[in-house]
A and B are shown apart, each in its own frame.
Chain A
Amino acid sequence: MSSSAEVTSQEYIKHHLTNLSVGEGFWTFHIDTLGWSIFLGLVFLTIFRSVAKKAETGVPGKLQCAVEMIVEFVDDSVKSTFHGKNPVIAPLALTIFVWVLLMNAMDWVPVDLIPKAFELVGVNYMKAVPTTDINMTLALALGVFWLIIYYSIKVKGISGFIKELTTQPFGHWTLYPVNFLLETVTLLARPLSLALRLFGNLYAGELIFILIATVGVFQLPMHFVWAAFHLLVIPLQAFIFMTLTIVYLSLAHEDH
């Protein structure tokens, strides 16, 4: 807790919500978001790759069991929603689920621990939860969005995709512009809702953690309650992001 005499609560919160960044204007890079997300992604890939390399078809070890549980969970989720054949969707869903889960899990790390540690080595700002950065969630959502467009065109052709955007919900040709407007909004709402839902939930969660950190000695039970609540929020948001990705991609594969 750093609300000492010279730092007000407002300044404290503002400090904790500022990214470590380099660059100017649009070309600003949030070093902390990039660093933590890539670090966590590498943690995910290292663990899973180590299991994949010596994947045992007989009796699996404990780590392999744990990894296989996650893989099977993702595989079941994909199979229950998406019925076509696509080699990308399942690994994509796995990457999203585990990566987002790990990034969300950074929310459990006490809000001062990492920033203080970095302050000791002279780094003044450190926001350790990457999913509280809109850039992070937007990047994931846009990645999914391009795949939606790509598979829509690949499966239905450009004409099929345009037809899908214009000929429904209203069948009459005079209403095609209206249809196009509605469908475009629907299409664009998908990545936007994906990005904003994850960002909003995690940003709000982090904000409350920081707020709780300013209330003095009562923060301990409150932190505990809020962290326990995040036992639900953190996996749930990762799961929702993964499931909606699968749903959107399976919609992109469907011909109307």
Chain B
Amino acid sequence: MNVNATFIGEMIAFVVFVIFCMKYVWPPIIGAIEARQATIADGLAASDRAAKDLELAQEKATAQLKDAKAQAAEIVEAAKKRETQIVEEAAAKAQAEKEKILASGHAEIETERNQAKEELRQQVAVLAVAGAEKILERSIDAAAHSDILDKLVAEL
């Protein structure tokens, strides 16, 4: 229990140990710990950023989807409009065509009727002449007209 030269030896050992620890033990270990802490902090920050990015991207995607849907609806609407327009146009065109055809038909019929009328008229004249001839033939009674006939025969 008495104080003696032992403490001098222990003090030397103490100083040597502390210096060794200061030079070769403490700096690498604390350096490794701090480097790891920095890495972990960076990793956490990066994951935070990634989560935020993901959220933003999702929002953007949703907005784009909404836009696309609206656009699609617009396109469908326009197509429907165009469809009715085309149908209407086609109907109008068909109507016009029909009227044109009808008109030309009427004209043709008219011409043919006129032609027929003309022919008929000509044939009626011939018939009338023929009829007149027949009538004339019959009305020449032999008795009544015998003198004429006789004269004719006489003249022969």
Contact = CB atoms under 8 A, between A and B. Distances in A.
A23 B5 contact: yes
Interface stretch (A114-122, A134-142, A171-179, A217-225): A134-142
Q: Name, among B9, B21, B32, B35, the residue most crowded by chain A CB atoms within 10 Å (CB to CB).
A: B21
A57 B7 contact: no
Given A29-B6, A30-B4, A45 B35 contact: no
A251 interface: no
A134 B28 CA distance: 34
A87 B14 contact: no
B14 A143 contact: yes
Binding site of A, secondary structure by majority: helix, strand, loop or mixed?
A: helix
Nearest to A18: B1
Interface residues of A, number: 51
Contact of B28 (A30, A41, A53): A53
Interface residues of B, number: 32
Contacts of A29: 4-6, 9
A28 B6 contact: yes
B146 to A, nearest CB: 158
B141 interface: no
Contacts, number: 132
A57 B32 contact: yes
B3 interface: yes
B33 interface: yes
A21 B11 CA distance: 17
Nearest to B13: A38
Nearest to A90: B26
A37 B11 CA distance: 11
Interface of B: 1-11, 13-15, 17-18, 20-22, 24-33, 35-36, 39
Given A21-B6, A29-B9, A52-B24, 19 more contacts: A25-B4, A37-B13, A48-B25, A57-B35, A57-B36, A67-B29, A90-B30, A91-B21, A91-B25, A91-B26, A95-B17, A95-B21, A133-B6, A134-B1, A135-B6, A136-B10, A139-B9, A139-B14, A140-B14
Minimum-distance CB pairs A-B, first 8: A139-B10, A55-B32, A135-B6, A91-B26, A52-B28, A135-B7, A91-B22, A57-B35
